[in-house]
Amino acid sequence: MSAKSSRTLPRPPGAADDVGASARVRLSQEARQNPEKAIFLDFLERRNLKLTRQREAVINEVFSDQGHFEADEIVHTLRSSKPRVSRATVYRTLELLQECQLVEKLDFGTSQSYYEHVQAGEHHDHLICTRCGNVIEFHDDGLEAQQAQICRNFGFQDTHHSLRIFGICSKCRQLTG
Protein backbone atom coordinates (compact mmCIF):
# COMPACT_ATOMS: atom_id res chain seq x y z
CA MET A 1 0.00 0.00 0.00
CA SER A 2 1.46 3.33 -0.93
CA ALA A 3 1.41 6.15 1.56
CA LYS A 4 -0.79 8.14 -0.83
CA SER A 5 -3.67 5.67 -1.05
CA SER A 6 -6.76 6.04 1.09
CA ARG A 7 -8.15 2.81 2.51
CA THR A 8 -10.94 2.17 4.91
CA LEU A 9 -11.73 -1.09 6.59
CA PRO A 10 -14.75 -2.91 5.16
CA ARG A 11 -17.69 -3.42 7.49
CA PRO A 12 -19.91 -6.47 7.10
CA PRO A 13 -23.59 -5.65 6.52
CA GLY A 14 -25.38 -5.20 9.83
CA ALA A 15 -22.16 -5.04 11.87
CA ALA A 16 -21.86 -2.55 14.69
CA ASP A 17 -19.94 0.57 13.75
CA ASP A 18 -16.97 0.47 16.18
CA VAL A 19 -15.15 3.36 14.63
CA GLY A 20 -17.80 5.34 12.75
CA ALA A 21 -17.69 6.71 9.21
CA SER A 22 -16.04 10.00 10.13
CA ALA A 23 -13.42 8.17 12.19
CA ARG A 24 -12.63 5.82 9.25
CA VAL A 25 -12.06 8.86 7.03
CA ARG A 26 -9.82 10.39 9.73
CA LEU A 27 -7.90 7.10 10.06
CA SER A 28 -7.35 6.88 6.31
CA GLN A 29 -6.06 10.47 6.30
CA GLU A 30 -3.70 9.65 9.20
CA ALA A 31 -2.56 6.49 7.41
CA ARG A 32 -1.41 8.58 4.45
CA GLN A 33 0.81 10.52 6.84
CA ASN A 34 1.92 7.49 8.87
CA PRO A 35 3.06 4.60 6.65
CA GLU A 36 3.32 2.25 9.64
CA LYS A 37 -0.29 2.85 10.55
CA ALA A 38 -1.17 2.14 6.91
CA ILE A 39 0.75 -1.15 7.09
CA PHE A 40 -1.17 -2.11 10.24
CA LEU A 41 -4.53 -1.11 8.72
CA ASP A 42 -3.78 -3.25 5.67
CA PHE A 43 -2.68 -6.14 7.92
CA LEU A 44 -5.95 -5.95 9.88
CA GLU A 45 -8.00 -5.72 6.71
CA ARG A 46 -6.40 -8.88 5.27
CA ARG A 47 -7.40 -10.72 8.45
CA ASN A 48 -10.91 -9.26 8.51
CA LEU A 49 -10.15 -7.51 11.80
CA LYS A 50 -11.25 -4.02 12.78
CA LEU A 51 -9.23 -1.09 14.00
CA THR A 52 -11.20 -0.40 17.15
CA ARG A 53 -10.69 2.74 19.17
CA GLN A 54 -8.91 0.62 21.78
CA ARG A 55 -6.46 -0.83 19.22
CA GLU A 56 -5.91 2.63 17.82
CA ALA A 57 -5.05 3.94 21.31
CA VAL A 58 -2.51 1.12 21.74
CA ILE A 59 -0.82 1.65 18.37
CA ASN A 60 -0.70 5.41 18.88
CA GLU A 61 1.08 4.86 22.20
CA VAL A 62 3.44 2.25 20.72
CA PHE A 63 4.29 4.36 17.67
CA SER A 64 4.93 7.43 19.84
CA ASP A 65 7.50 5.57 21.97
CA GLN A 66 11.03 5.45 20.61
CA GLY A 67 12.53 3.24 23.29
CA HIS A 68 12.07 -0.17 24.83
CA PHE A 69 8.88 -0.65 26.82
CA GLU A 70 6.95 -3.27 28.74
CA ALA A 71 3.36 -4.13 27.87
CA ASP A 72 2.29 -3.13 31.38
CA GLU A 73 3.65 0.38 30.77
CA ILE A 74 1.18 0.72 27.90
CA VAL A 75 -1.58 -0.71 30.13
CA HIS A 76 -0.75 1.82 32.86
CA THR A 77 -0.56 4.75 30.44
CA LEU A 78 -3.91 3.89 28.84
CA ARG A 79 -5.66 2.89 32.08
CA SER A 80 -7.43 6.21 32.46
CA SER A 81 -7.81 6.96 28.76
CA LYS A 82 -10.97 7.23 26.75
CA PRO A 83 -11.82 4.71 25.46
CA ARG A 84 -10.92 2.26 28.24
CA VAL A 85 -8.28 -0.23 27.12
CA SER A 86 -7.97 -3.62 28.79
CA ARG A 87 -4.73 -5.46 29.51
CA ALA A 88 -5.87 -8.23 27.14
CA THR A 89 -6.36 -5.72 24.30
CA VAL A 90 -2.85 -4.34 24.84
CA TYR A 91 -1.28 -7.82 24.70
CA ARG A 92 -3.38 -8.93 21.70
CA THR A 93 -2.55 -5.73 19.82
CA LEU A 94 1.17 -6.15 20.56
CA GLU A 95 0.93 -9.71 19.16
CA LEU A 96 -0.67 -8.36 15.98
CA LEU A 97 2.01 -5.68 15.69
CA GLN A 98 4.66 -8.39 16.06
CA GLU A 99 3.01 -10.48 13.33
CA CYS A 100 3.20 -7.59 10.88
CA GLN A 101 6.77 -6.81 12.03
CA LEU A 102 6.10 -3.33 13.37
CA VAL A 103 7.01 -4.35 16.92
CA GLU A 104 9.71 -6.70 18.14
CA LYS A 105 9.50 -8.60 21.42
CA LEU A 106 12.87 -8.53 23.16
CA ASP A 107 14.50 -10.68 25.82
CA PHE A 108 17.14 -8.81 27.78
CA GLY A 109 17.92 -11.69 30.13
CA THR A 110 15.35 -10.76 32.77
CA SER A 111 11.98 -12.26 33.64
CA GLN A 112 10.26 -9.38 31.83
CA SER A 113 9.64 -9.09 28.12
CA TYR A 114 10.30 -5.79 26.46
CA TYR A 115 8.97 -4.49 23.19
CA GLU A 116 10.33 -2.07 20.67
CA HIS A 117 8.68 -0.19 17.84
CA VAL A 118 10.56 -1.25 14.72
CA GLN A 119 10.94 1.42 12.07
CA ALA A 120 10.34 -0.02 8.60
CA GLY A 121 13.67 -0.83 6.94
CA GLU A 122 15.77 -0.07 10.02
CA HIS A 123 17.71 -2.56 12.10
CA HIS A 124 19.93 -2.41 15.16
CA ASP A 125 21.37 -4.77 17.73
CA HIS A 126 21.75 -4.52 21.50
CA LEU A 127 24.47 -4.50 24.15
CA ILE A 128 22.95 -5.31 27.58
CA CYS A 129 24.72 -4.58 30.86
CA THR A 130 24.16 -7.46 33.29
CA ARG A 131 24.85 -5.20 36.29
CA CYS A 132 22.77 -2.06 35.75
CA GLY A 133 20.46 -3.23 32.97
CA ASN A 134 21.52 -0.47 30.58
CA VAL A 135 20.72 -1.29 26.95
CA ILE A 136 22.85 0.22 24.20
CA GLU A 137 21.57 0.08 20.64
CA PHE A 138 24.08 -0.13 17.82
CA HIS A 139 24.31 -0.80 14.11
CA ASP A 140 27.44 -1.97 12.33
CA ASP A 141 27.42 -2.33 8.54
CA GLY A 142 30.48 -4.61 8.63
CA LEU A 143 28.78 -6.98 11.07
CA GLU A 144 25.61 -7.00 8.96
CA ALA A 145 27.69 -7.84 5.86
CA GLN A 146 29.41 -10.69 7.72
CA GLN A 147 26.07 -12.12 8.82
CA ALA A 148 24.76 -11.92 5.25
CA GLN A 149 27.91 -13.69 3.98
CA ILE A 150 27.48 -16.47 6.57
CA CYS A 151 23.91 -16.98 5.35
CA ARG A 152 25.10 -17.15 1.73
CA ASN A 153 27.83 -19.65 2.69
CA PHE A 154 25.21 -21.99 4.12
CA GLY A 155 22.59 -21.34 1.43
CA PHE A 156 20.39 -19.90 4.15
CA GLN A 157 17.65 -17.38 3.38
CA ASP A 158 17.47 -15.06 6.37
CA THR A 159 14.23 -13.27 7.21
CA HIS A 160 15.41 -11.39 10.29
CA HIS A 161 17.81 -11.68 13.18
CA SER A 162 18.47 -10.33 16.62
CA LEU A 163 21.90 -9.93 18.16
CA ARG A 164 22.14 -9.35 21.89
CA ILE A 165 25.52 -9.14 23.59
CA PHE A 166 25.50 -9.39 27.39
CA GLY A 167 28.33 -7.92 29.45
CA ILE A 168 29.33 -5.03 31.67
CA CYS A 169 29.02 -1.45 30.47
CA SER A 170 31.82 1.11 30.79
CA LYS A 171 30.10 2.96 33.68
CA CYS A 172 29.79 -0.22 35.75
CA ARG A 173 33.38 -1.20 34.92
CA GLN A 174 34.57 2.22 36.13
CA LEU A 175 32.64 1.82 39.39
CA THR A 176 34.40 -1.49 40.16
CA GLY A 177 37.82 -0.12 39.33
CB–CB of 133/110 below 8 Å? yes
Architecture of domain 21-116: Orthogonal Bundle (1.10)
**What's the pTM?**
0.66
Q: Where are the beta strands (DSSP E) in 47-102?
A: 68-69
Q: How far apart are CA 38 and CA 29, in angstroms?
A: 10
Q: Which of 113, 121, 126, 44 is nearest to 72 (CA)?
A: 113
Question: From the CB of residue 135, how many other CB atoms can be counted at a distance below 10 Å?
Answer: 17
Q: How confident is the model at residue 22 (pLDDT cuts 50, 70, 90)?
A: very low
Residue 6 has pLDDT above 90, yes or no: no
- What is the mean pLDDT of the segment spanning 102-108? 83
For 120-141, what is each residue's pLDDT tens digit? 667 788 898 989 988 888 889 9
CATH class of 123-175: alpha beta
For 77-100, what is each residue's pLDDT tens digit? 888 777 789 999 999 999 999 998
Pairing outcome for strands 164-167 and 125-129: parallel
> Per-domain residue ranges for the chain?
21-116, 123-175
Q: How far apart are CA 90 and CA 18, in angstroms?
A: 17
